[in-house]
Amino acid sequence: EIVMTQSPATLSVSPGERVTLSCRASQSVSVSLGWYQQKPGQAPRLLIYGASTRATGVPARFSGSGSGTYFTLTITSLQSEDFAVYYCQQYHNWPLTFGGGTKVEI
Amino acid sequence: QLQLQESGPGLVKPSETLALTCTVSGGSISSSGYYWGWVRQSPGKGLEWIGSIYYSGTTYYNPSLKSRVTISVDASKNQFSLRLTSVTAADTAVYFCARRDSAIVTWGQGTLVTVSS
């Protein structure tokens, strides 16, 4: 099983700031990596797939990068609606596995 | 637009079987290339993949749950289902159904299932 580790667990930021979230895989997942945003009481929403491709309707301030075992999600100029929990997930191998999440808070 | 909707009991007794159904609308469950599956989230915790079924019928399960999980498809009803046997309080969670293309693109809204006597 591929273990996904996200850091930090919590990120305290202000609107307008640039933030970078990290995700590390215990073995290579190539670019089979997705990023999700989840707000309280809602289902997760896919932001990025293929490590760097924005999903439909995702604003350009979200960008993903990385390959192999290290990935980042960057949000430029954080908006109020971006405060949420972010999860990475690998789909390179079964079982699918998620990181523990990074909470982006004010 | 594809939509997924979970349904099933919100309360299950310990040792009994949790059974949920996901109804697919706006698309066919028999369309090639997609995986249909379940993800759960315990209160205040992260996301846990339970298992998936490919359109061809091949199933994939989380090893930690494999002995208790069955996912099946009813193409005639455009639905797929989850059965989790011998539940305990640790199985209390919001259960999401989902469709995976590469990553998981489409999610249901989720349904809370509480395991309690």
pLDDT, tens digit, for every residue of B11-65? 999 999 999 999 999 999 998 889 999 999 999 999 999 999 998 889 999 999 9
Positions in chain A short of pLDDT 70:
none
pLDDT of residue B3 exceeding 90, the answer is: yes
Is the Cβ pair A87, B47 closer than 8 Å?
yes
How confident is the prediction for chain B on average, in pLDDT?
Answer: 95
Q: How big is the A-B interface in CB pairs under 8 Å?
A: 58
Q: Give the model's pLDDT for residue B2.
A: 93
Kindly state the tokens that stand for A12.
């305290």
> What integer pLDDT is reported at residue B14 of this predicted model?
97
pLDDT (0 to 100) of residue A45 = 97
Return the structure tokens found at B84: 């989790």
Structure tokens, B25: 């609308």
Q: Do B62 and A100 touch (CB under 8 A)?
A: no
| Per-residue model confidence (pLDDT) at position A95 | 95
Check if the beta carbon of residue B107 is closer than 8 Å to that of residue B4: yes
